[in-house]
Amino acid sequence: MKTRRDFLRELIISVGGVTALTACGDAPVVVATATGEPGRFYTPEEMELVSRLSELIIPRTETPGALDVNVPGYVDGLMADWASEETQDAHRRALAEIDRRLSADGSFMALDETEAERSLAELDRSAFEEAAEDLGGYRTFKGYVTRSYFATEGGAQEELQWVGVPGRWDPDVLVTDRQGV
Amino acid sequence: MAEATEFDAIVVGSGMSGGMSAKELCERGLRVLVLERGPEIVPERDYSDQLAPWETPNFDNVSQDEIKQHYFRQYPGVPYALKESNKDFWVKDDEHPYEEAEGTRYEWLRGYHTAGRSIMWSRQTYRLGPQDFEANLREGVAIDWPVRYEDIAPWYEKVETFVGIAGSEEGLSQLPDSVFQPAFELTEAEKAFKQGVETAFPGRNVIPARVAHLTDATEEQRSLGRSNCQLRNRCHHGCVFRAYFSSLNATLPAAERTGNLTMVHNAIVQSLEFDSETNRVSGVRIVDAETNEARTYSSRIVFLNASAIASAMILLQSTSESFPNGLANRSDQVGRNLMDHVSGAGAAGIMRGFDDRKVFGRRPGGIYIPRYANVTENDKPYSRGFGYQGGASPLGNANGQIPGIGREFKESHRRPGPWRISIGAFGEQLPNPNNRVTLHPTRRDRWGNPIAVFEVRYSRNEEIMLEEARTDAIAMLEAAGCEQISSGPVNLTNPGNRIHEMGSARMGRDPADSVLNGWCQAHDVPNLFITDGAFMTSAACQNPSLTYMAFSARAANYAADLLAEGVL
């Protein structure tokens, strides 16, 4: 049987902006495309669009935002390494559709922060509150962004207060502002 | 040094039942060889339970192309358990093919390695009840079990004490209590559901799932390096705390420490050799999975624990003048009566009033609703019954599938959101001799062994039962005040999907219509025992691993007695 170390070694393609912890003493591994590196799947234009959308969806607050933890690189890795050609094509089409919808009154990328936020919020409303059929691609994209964010160390530990080894079961915890999950 | 080839006992398979057989035989002082067809798993090297979410790429998903190439049957069957970091625990479908009879489907979900599927199981652990051993006789279905609940009860107790099961004492006759360690307490929403259901439906119960996790490890368990469950929900990846039961976490180390265990990996059993003069199995022929080298081991007794399907196939492959249709198969029952449990009916809904509550820890099991059909309620248009597994938990962030962007969206993930409860049925499949596994007449695997051909269909009873299970599930959610109740049309799981295959060498009283006697001993071949799921004369509706282990322990001690008495 292949050892975990062998397995990890084979998977290391590039070490991205997020550094993994080394729970078992192995080398850190993250297959996300590094911040600032060209996408392995995305074109430069797509990478810019994904970066902007990600940060609008999950901005930096008191905790890291999507760009701080390199969500665009994570999703780029997801598309390059996990997705089939069919999924890749669907994702590319979804980004084009999102860009088209957001750029109806001029380039989305040229909008200032407030305008961009307003524009995306409107599209999000259509996608989730009206469940617009042609925005299924956006819903999937938002899922990738959100899952990627919470799969990073920053998203999981700092924002979600994820605890690796809970060690006990409490079936009834009153919600306060900040508690582990 | 030449490898030893002669032993007191050979156990074929190191999984759930093989581990228990080996432990009991070793503890009786026998020199035991365990033959495992797959490679060795070394926990410190091969478990991936310590990985944090950010230490695995792509959400730990196996790439879509790789699934299509290697896991096209395994992955759709167990998407919840087959991940990038533990994919080696599952067989590659292109390397381990099988076929299905036209118009039928079968999911053969497997792992070939030390401890087999006991590493990846979902750990639900229940006793069968008295009704389960009597149903065939009462209803005139198939054949009668040659044992009754009282025969196996002390062995359940012995096995449970060793295994460690978290559960609550309920005093239910149809689901007898085990030897328990403290249960994982129900959530507040589950308690409300319990109250709603038990008030509206006297005779139905909502109890904590019984799971093979340590919550108050005993001295014996600690001595094996086991400790209490840490609530991580990483169980399908192994457990460095050895907190959930697997052969590798418990029975194999216990066998090992007797000094009587020899374990050989990559040893695929091809056939059992039969000596017509002594009327005994005289040798176990294996092919080495890596070198293709053939070897034969011999022993005074042989335990088949290769899983119900593989054990039946080994018998069918073991032809001789005395047994032209397969060893111990004078009844023609080997490979027949293949059963599983059937799911595909249930319901989910939102429980209001708990939005200010959440949980701490990731619990290994939720709730269980023991069988009530034809136990406490006798107005059913079907025979036998089902239990429900389920649970209530906060809906959480739904992977981003909620409206909003920006700070509010981001921080909404900290809140548990509404609580959702879901329950799904596990129903009993009736035995039917036409549901069977046979050997393909020509197609062989890479080691030259015939591949399996499955022909399994559900009966009308299972279809009606699951329709009723769906109706009952909705009614219970309504009674508990759930909102937004959803329940898709009944869509029966494919046979095999519950990974509870059993019945392929059933036990019975009459050698003419059964393969094994009440001690899991072959009627036709006294030194051959089969204690994986193959012996099951009917399926009951409870998850079966505990029952396999109890019968394994009982058979092993019986066999050791016969050896000591000189009978074998």
Residue B314 contacts residue B281 (beta carbons within 8 Å): no
Q: Does residue A11 belong to the interface with chain B, where contact is any CB pair within 8 Å?
A: yes
Residue with tokens 């548990």: B416
Same domain for B99 and B35? yes
Question: Residue B334 sits in a domain of what CATH number?
Answer: 3.50.50.60
pLDDT, mean of each 10-residue run, chain A (181 residues): 38 28 38 84 97 98 97 97 98 97 92 95 94 91 97 94 96 75 54
Inspect the interface and report whether the beta carbons of A164 and B52 lie closer than 8 Å. yes
Gap from A2 CA to chain B (nearest CA, Å):
8
Is the separation of the CB atoms in B303 and B9 below 8 Å? Answer: yes
Domain spans, chain A: 40-154
pLDDT of residue B3: 72
Average pLDDT over residues B17-45: 98
Clarify whether residues B368 and B468 are in a common domain: yes
Q: Which of residues 65-124 of A touch B (CB under 8 A)?
A: 77-78, 81-84, 86-87, 117, 120-121, 124
| B395 near A CB under 8 A | no
Q: Does A56 touch chain B (CB under 8 A)?
A: yes
Residues B179 and B299 in one domain: no
Arithmetic mean of pLDDT, B251-277: 98
0.90 surpassed by complex ipTM? yes
Q: A31 in contact with B at a CB cutoff of 8 Å?
A: yes
Tell whether B54 lies on the interface with A, counting CB pairs under 8 A: yes
Pairing of strands B32-35, B261-264: parallel
Q: Which of B41, B45, B50, B405 to mutate to test the interface with A (most CBs of A within 10 A)?
A: B405
Average pLDDT over chain B, rounded to an integer: 97
Domain, as residue range, for B183: 167-209+341-428+458-494
The reply to whether residue A159 touches residue B358, judged by beta carbons under 8 angstroms, is: no
Is the Cβ pair A124, B405 closer than 8 Å?
yes
Work out whether strand B6-12 and strand B99-100 pair parallel, antiparallel, or are unpaired: unpaired
Cβ-defined contact of A166 to B188 (cutoff 8 Å)? no
Q: List pLDDT tens digits, range B415-457.
A: 888 999 999 999 999 999 999 999 999 999 999 999 999 999 9
Q: Is the dihedral of CA B86, B89, B90, B94 positive or negative?
A: positive
Whether residue B258 is found in the same domain as residue B349: no
Model confidence at B258: pLDDT above 80: yes
Residue B184 is nearest to which of A28, A58, A169, comparing CB atoms?
A169
Is B395 in the same domain as B484? yes
Subunit contact B405:A150, Cβ cutoff 8 A: no
Query: DSSP label at B181?
Result: B
In a domain, B225, yes or no: no
Q: Do B349 and B296 fall into the same domain?
A: no
Are both B105 and B51 inside the same structural domain?
A: yes
Is residue B33 one of the residues assigned to a domain?
yes
Let me know whether B345 and B472 are in one domain: yes
pLDDT tens per residue, range B134-188:
999 999 999 999 999 999 999 999 999 999 999 999 999 999 999 999 999 999 9
Q: Is residue B214 part of a domain?
A: no
Please name the residues between 116 and 175 in chain A that touch chain B, using a CB distance below 8 Å: 117, 120-121, 124-125, 128-129, 139, 142-143, 145-148, 150-153, 156, 159-175
- In contact, B226 and B243? CB cutoff 8 Å: yes
Task: Sort out which chain A residues have CB atoms less than 8 A from B408's CB and list them.
Answer: none
Q: Which amino acid is at B394?
A: P
Mean pLDDT of B514-525: 98
Residues of B in contact with A146 (CB under 8 A): 397, 399-400, 413
Rounded (10°) CA dihedral B79, B81, B82, B83: 100
B451 and B537 fall within a common domain: yes
CB contact under 8 A, B45 and A20: no
pLDDT of residue A18: 28
A21-25, A104-108, B512-516, B540-544: least confidently modelled range: A21-25
In chain B, % of residues over pLDDT 90:
96
- What is the number of domains present in chain B? 2
In a domain, B446, yes or no: yes
- Among A169, A174, A177, A178, which would you mutate to test the B interface (most chain B Cβ atoms within 10 Å of its Cβ)? A169
pLDDT in tens, B460-479: 999 999 999 999 999 999 99
- In terms of domains, do B308 and B421 share one? no
Q: Are residues B511 and B412 in the same domain?
A: no
Q: What is the mean pLDDT of residues B33-39?
A: 98
Q: What is the pLDDT of residue A131?
A: 81
Write down the pLDDT at residue B2.
55
- Cβ of B413 and A160 within 8 Å? yes
**SS3 helix, strand, coil % of chain A, rounded to 5?**
55, 5, 45
- Please answer yes or no on whether B232 and A164 come within 8 Å at the CB atom: yes
Determine the distance in angstroms separating the CA of B301 from the nearest CA of chain A, rounded to an integer.
30
Interface test with B, best of A52, A163, A172, A178 (most B CBs within 10 A): A172
Under 8 Å between Cβ of B393 and B187 = yes
Short-list B213, B167, B227, CA closest to B362: B213
Instruction: Read off the DSSP letter of residue A106.
Output: S
Give a yes or no: residue B219 inside a domain: no
pLDDT tens track for B331-389: 999 999 999 999 999 999 999 999 999 999 999 999 999 999 999 999 999 999 999 99
* Chain B nearest CA to A125, separation (Å): 6
Q: Give me the pLDDT at residue B380, please.
A: 98
pLDDT in tens, B196-223: 999 999 999 999 999 999 999 999 999 9
For A81, which of B55, B63, B85 is closest by C-beta distance? Answer: B63
Q: What is the pLDDT of residue A5?
A: 38
Tokens linked to A123: 């599209």
